[in-house]
Structure 1
Amino acid sequence: MTSTAKRKAELEARRDFLQRRIAGIGAELDSHDAKDWEEMATEREGDEVLEDLGQSAQTELRMIEAALVRIEEGEYGYCVTCGEKISEERLDLIPATPFCAEHAL
């Protein structure tokens, strides 16, 4: 059984990684200075991918922040819908999940 303190440390490490990743994506998006249309089109395609990655990271970051709040409140590891304990296996796969397997759908 993984301790709450260990899960908190893992969530904080992932949060820090995502914050750096989001900052890097923002810097990359701001760095373009193509002059011709062909280069601008190529950069725009790349920007769309970066924006999707950034949005995905922001979604995961919100989930992690919510999980850290649940840890502080002593509610981490319990389903927010039914209140039942979330299985260790599920928390191993998705540490920030607020739902048991039954209510995840």
Structure 2
Amino acid sequence: MADPLDTVFAALADPTRREILRMLLEDDMAVTDVAEPFEMSLAAISKHLAILAAAGLIAQEKRGRVKWCKLEPDALKAASVWMQSFGQFEPVNLDAFERFLEQELGVGPDP
């Protein structure tokens, strides 16, 4: 079984799927409304929606004859926590590090 983070990041890798998620931030949408702004078939949009649903990023539910899509924001939590873990490190200032080495260790740039 694939790591859930792998599935989420694979789903987010496609710009169409990211746009669908952005659209669903506003409100739940019928599949036909999701498909409307895209220049692709309803079948192609349905495949994108299936990938998003498999990653847990959206939920789909049938209401009468209409299939609705709803954003599942909790699925992004693990990915967000993983990405934020990289924010704990300050960027390294290589010039300052080189000056530190010169002062502390007597190491200087090569002539």
Hey, which of these two has a bigger chunk of helix by percent?
Answer: 1
Question: TM-score by structure 1 length?
Answer: 0.29
Hey, which of these two has a bigger chunk of strand by percent?
Answer: 2
Q: Higher relative contact order at CA 8 Å, sep ≥6: structure 1 or structure 2?
A: 1
